Structure 1
Amino acid sequence: MTQADNPTDAFEPRSAITRTLVERGYVNQVTDLEGVDRAFAAGIVPVYAGFDATADSLHVGHLLPIMTLRRLQQAGHKPIVLIGSGTTRIGDPSFRSAARPMLSEDEISANVAGIRKVFERLLTFGDGPTDALMVNNAEWLDPMAWIDMLRDVGKHFSVNRMLSFDSVKTRLEQQENLSFLEFNYMILQAVDYLELFRRTGCRLQLGGGDQWGNIVNGVDLVRRIEGAEVFGMTTPLLTTASGAKMGKTAAGAIWVNEDRLSPYDYWQFWRNAEDADVVRFLKLFTDLPLDEIESLGRADGAALNTVKERLANEVTALVHEADAARRAQATARQAFGAGEAAEGLPTVRLSDDERANGVGLVELLVRAGMASSKSEARRAIAGRGIRIDGDVVEDVEAIVKASTLPLRLSFGRKRHIVVT
């Protein structure tokens, strides 16, 4: 099964949803775009995307397949969210230089509870023909007998072919260890597709670009065992216009759960998008119609800042609701204007000992997540990038004392934290 460099070249879709997916930029690789388009035009298509429970929150890198499911549901198709409690116990080795840490059953259960939230905000669940369905692959993977697995499923996999996929080949070429446990991951993901086809009639699997090899294996397994035509599609692995991986900052991942990242910081991430990314992000991460996005994309200069606020408001409202977006915008405008600490900004609290003796500004910047290391904090101070209540701080040995609290700590013009 091969894939053209650009599957959308010289292709005229029959169905409106195929056109929407292509025009908004959701399509990267696809096993058979014309076949997918025919299926969409013929009736309701159950479509699934899988998410392992490796953390108690998803991050913005996960939003793209979820937004694709949202688009499909809006067009009258059925989204299936697969929570990978079973596969989490192994860990996907795709394009990773080392094995994921092994999680306990309690940790996996806690993570599952945490990641459910974003799906319930972006998709409509229920019992109707196009209502979203949430399933957990532990239901069928945990009881699976090893001998039955080898006999019924393993015989359909070629080790030669498995070794040819980039996700595996890269690891081996760099002489990095790939355990037999991890090597089985792609087989188990293929079993997920087979099981969902049998249970729900699922015809399409979605995933990020790093999932292509796993998805192709699932398509092939369903064809071999059930003789059915099913499809696979990946969304782009997003980078910003400057080449940075989408959703990664100096302070870490951009989480979607508010107990991991405040709605204000989430809003600020989108408000600080690079100019060249704004239109693309509006297409991928908001429900705004394309003609309105095209109009917004003509803005430049100061007007572009207003469009960035629109992007931040729309994306934050989807994940955290409209009130959170409005509060974040109001807080940002207050913080950029008057010198007082703005209500709603993220807060860092000093301990009793620190209030008594003070705490180094460098240490505080790292703890607040405004710098990823002490050396970065020192560079920011030396470069006149740090302000306390609007005043530039140039002393890398500066101590924050209780007598000055509360204060507003700023990194550049757009990142602010209240120290209390």
Structure 2
Amino acid sequence: MNFVEELRWRGMLHDIMPGTEEELAKGMVSGYIGFDPTADSLHVGSLAQILTLVRFQQAGHKPIALVGGATGMVGDPSGKSAERNLLSEEVLDHNLAGIRAQLEKFLDFDRGASSAEIVNNYDWFRTFSFLDFIRDAGKHITVNYMMAKDSVKKRIEGDTGMSFTEFSYQLIQGYDFYWLWKNKNCLLQMGGSDQWGNIVTGTELVRRKGAGTAYALTTQLIKKADGTKFGKTEGGNIWLDPAKTSPFKFYQFWLNATDEDAKNWTRIFSFRTHEAIIELEKQHDEAPHLRLMQKALAEELTVLVHSGEALQTALRTTEFLFNNGSTDFLSQLNHEQVLDVFEGVPAYPIAMEVLESGISITDLLGEKVPVFASKSEAKKMIAGGGVAVNREKIADPARLLTAAHLVNNKYLVAQKGKKNYFLIFVG
């Protein structure tokens, strides 16, 4: 199965320019996808494009990842209803470094002729004067052509309008394609379906300015079955950077997918064979309550994006929070990661001196930290067997807790009833 057939099977192919599939069948082709540095990390919405480049390389072609140091200064209007804030060069450089490091984790840079390459369009725009640009590129694309693009029409016809800065974006992206075609023999640009207008502007510039031929291919924009935005949660974007989205939260995002989404996303993101995916779908349908597809996808992608070790931490965290697992996993996390795991859970600092001399569980939870409104309330619930510390049920209100009970010499996890957690930490 060739690259285009692979995308079709996975439900990813959206638009393809005539002749593209035939060109790819002739032999190795260089193709690129652009990534805008709006943040110092990519998110799961970008993961589909990253994996498109990976599959492109696995099919024997040469992938080029373009990080938009220049286009990032302008802002892509595609899919946007308002002007985007412009970033300083210092912020852009920081973002570019983060994105480059992430891309290097996925692509193979030691594969001979089809080795991956990362380029930054600021390298060829930094010395390109405005007058040179409008003379050498602008004269080849008419305003009528640019105005006809959906991303432009929607903004111009809307209430916010569009600045010349954003209007020029498609011409700048088009020139990227021309430059890569001329200097890197890049014949194909790929991207999400919202990029079709910008991509074909590039093919037009290659045709009109370079008297050459270039090709275009776009993939489906990923959505949830309920119509809500993919990659968004109540807490915001699901990032690929573990400092922005912990491996636990990353794992939980995929684990909490609906059955329909899990089936669609497995075909899009999984590197399992077609036969393995079809078999997994069959097993899932036979016992949907086991959530086999969600678990398989969550595990595969957590390892792919983070690591096997990160997956084990995510599994132990899940086991602790939802299946009465041990608190031992806390010893493998730093303080920020622990707070991330317990996001939304009341967290209370306590001085080490309090525990060094020992304190009764009643005094600790009913006075030192406000787990209970009073010591009498604490005593009553403890005696009734409704309180646990570090998963150990404690029924004696006079039971002493000391520094020896701390996990990683820092944490106590109190539990009131079945679902009410409280994090107590030395600090």
- The answer for the alignment partner of 1:210 in structure 2 is 194
User: Residue 256 of structure 2 aligns with which residue?
Assistant: 272
| 2:301 is the counterpart of 1:310 | no
How big is the alpha-carbon RMSD for the aligned residues of Structure 1 and Structure 2? Answer: 3.1
Pairing 1:20-419 to 2, within 5 Å after superposition = 20-32=6-18, 35-126=19-110, 128-298=112-282, 299-300=284-285, 301-302=287-288, 304-338=290-324, 341=327, 343=329, 346-348=337-339, 406-407=412-413
Q: Deviations over 1:349-401 (max 9, x none)?
A: 958699999799xxxxxxxxxxxxxxxxxxxxxxxxxxx999xxxxxxxxxxx
Is the CA contact (8 Å cut-off) linking 2:67 and 2:96 kept in structure 1? yes
Note closer, same or farther for the CA distance 1:193–1:329 as it changes in structure 2 (3 Å cut).
same
Native 8 Å contact 1:26 1:68 kept in 2: no
Greater C-alpha radius of gyration: 2
Q: Kindly state the Cα deviation for residue 174 of structure 1 after the two structures are TM-superposed.
A: 1.5
1:126 shift after superposition: 3.6
Deviation per CA, 1:152-177: give whole Å up to 9, x if none.
11011121221121111111221213
Secondary structure at 1:160's aligned position in 2? helix
**Structure 1 SS opposite 2:144:** helix
Task: Summarize deviations over 1:286-327 as a string: whole Å, max 9, x none.
Answer: 110111101111113356423311110111111112222233
AA matched with 1:215: I
Change (3 A) 1:214 1:22: same
SS in 1 for 2:291: helix
CA distances 1:396-415 after superposition (whole Å, capped 9, x unpaired): xxxxxxxxx744799x99x9
Going from structure 1 to structure 2, the CA distance change for 1:328 and 1:164 (only over 3 Å counts) comes to same
CA spacing shift, 1:250–1:195, aligned 2, 3 Å: same
For the 8 Å contact 2:240–2:305, the answer to whether it is kept is yes
**TM-score, normalising length from structure 1?**
0.79
Distance 1:339 1:178 in 2: 54
Matches within 5 A, 1:4-23: 16-23=2-9
Q: Deviations over 1:123-170 (max 9, x none)?
A: 111472111000000001111111111111101112122112111111
Q: Given the superposition, is the C-alpha separation of residues 127 and 279 from structure 1 closer, same or farther in structure 2, using an over 3 Å criterion?
A: closer
CA distance in 2, matches of 1:348, 1:275: 30
Contact 2:69–2:96 (8 Å) recurs in 1: yes
CA shift for structure 1 position 79? 0.3
> Aligned equivalents of 1:419 and 1:152: distance in 2?
65
Q: Map Cα deviations across residues 75-100 of structure 1 (whole Å, 9 max, x no partner).
A: 11000000101111111111212211
- Of all paired residues, the percent bearing the same amino acid is 38
Q: 1:416, 1:159 → 2: CA distance?
A: 61
- Which string of whole-angstrom CA distances, capped at 9 and with x for unpartnered residues, describes residues 31-65 of structure 1? 22xx1111111110101000111101000000111
Moved more, 122-131 or 264-273: 122-131
CA distance in 2, matches of 1:351, 1:111: 35
Q: TM-score by structure 2 length?
A: 0.78
Cα distance in 2 between the residues matched to 1:226 and 1:95: 29
The 3-state SS of whatever aligns with 1:57 is coil
Tell me which amino acid in the other structure corresponds to 2:4. Answer: T
In structure 2, relative to structure 1, the CA distance for the partners of 1:409 and 1:133 (3 Å cut) is farther
Q: Is the 8 A contact 1:95 1:170 kept in 2?
A: no
Deviation at 1:117, TM superposition (A): 2.5
Corresponding residue pairs, total: 363
Distance 2:421 2:14 in 1: 37
5+ long unaligned stretches in structure 1: 1-14, 361-387, 391-404
Give the letter for the 2:117 counterpart: L
Give 3-state SS (helix, strand or coil) of 2:34's partner: strand
Q: Which residue of 2 aligns with 1:12?
A: none
In 1, the alpha carbon distance for the partners of 2:39 and 2:222 equals 20
Distance, in Å, in 2 between the alignment partners of 1:268 and 1:338 is 17
* Aligned mates of 2:61, 2:370 — CA distance in 1: 55
